[in-house]
Amino acid sequence: MNSLKSNPNRPRVNFEDLDVIDYKIAWDYQTSLFEPIVNQKIANRKDPENTIPTKNHLLFCEHPHVYTLGTSGSSSNLLASEQLLTARGASFYKINRGGDITYHGPGQLVAYPIFDLDYFFSDIHKYLRFLEESVILTLKEYGINAGRIEGLTGVWVNAADPKNARKICALGVKSSRWVTMHGIGFNINTDLSYFNAIIPCGIKDKKVTSLKKELGHTIDFNEIKQILKLNMSTIFDYDYNE
C-alpha cells in the first residue's frame, strides 16, 4: 500500500476514527461539523471581502444494530415490529439523508464525509460516483470485481448480471450549499441476517452480501479501513490532517 503523500495545493480533510459509536451520537456529531460549514459559507457569501475558509471532515465508525429510513423511503420497507427490533437489540431512526431504509451494525464500515464540495466539484451525482469508485477499488484489493447497476446507487458484486447482483455497499447522503453529510455503509464482517427485517434500500429483488461472505473468512477490519481511506484520498485528490 502506498503512503499518503502531502501536496499543499490539494484540499485537506480532517480524519477521525470513531470506532464503535451509537448512531444518534454519531449523527449529532456529524451535524455539529456540518452546520458550521454551511453557516460559514452563507457568511462568506454575504461578506466576500472577509472570507473564512471552511473545513472538510471524514469520519469512520461502526454502529450498534440500527435501522435508518431516509427522506425518500417508505416505512413499509421495515418488515419487523418495534418489539422484534428491541428483542434483537436494534434501534430505528427516520433521518435527513436521501434514500430508503438500510441497516448498520457491527462489522460494517461506515464512512461519513462532511465535505465542502466547492473544494472539489459542484456535482452531487459525481460525488456519489466517486464514493462508489472508492469502494470498488477497495474491493479489487481483495480480488472482488464489483461495480454499479444503472439506475441504482451503491456498489454491487456481480453487477454485470443485475438479476443475480448482490449489494455490498449502500449510499445515502444529504447536502446543503454543496456541503455533504451521511455517506456509506460497507458490509465487511456484517451479520447479514439483520437485513431480513427490511427491504434493503426499498429494492425487493436484490440480495445483500458482505466481503466476509464473498471470501469465506473474516476480514481484518483495521486493514480495510486503511485501504478505503487511501482510496478515498486518491479518488477525491486530497490530503489528510490527523
Secondary structure letter of residue 197 according to DSSP: G
71-91: pLDDT as tens digits: 877 777 777 777 778 788 889
Helix (H, G, I), strand (E, B) or coil at 202: helix
Quote the cell numbers at residue 96: 435527513
Give domain limits for the chain: 12-235
Comparing CA positions, the residue from 140, 146, 130, 155 lying closest to residue 232 is 130
Distance CA 228, CA 53 (A): 27
Determine which one of 201, 224, 230, 232 is catalytic. Answer: 201
Under 8 Å between Cβ of 211 and 139: yes
d(CA 139, CA 147): 10
- Helix locations, 69-142, DSSP H: 82-87, 124-140
Q: For 128-139, how does the pLDDT look when each residue is reduced to its tens digit (9 = 90+)? A: 999 999 999 999
CB hemisphere CA count around 170 (13 angstroms): 30
Q: Is 61 a catalytic residue?
A: no
Judged against a pLDDT cut of 50, whether residue 48 lies above it is answered with yes
pLDDT tens-digit readout, 138-194:
999 999 999 999 988 999 999 999 889 999 999 999 999 999 999 999 999 999 999
Q: What's the pTM value of the predicted model, to 2 decimals?
A: 0.91
Identify the residue whose cell numbers are 430508503.
100
> Which class would CATH give 12-235?
alpha beta
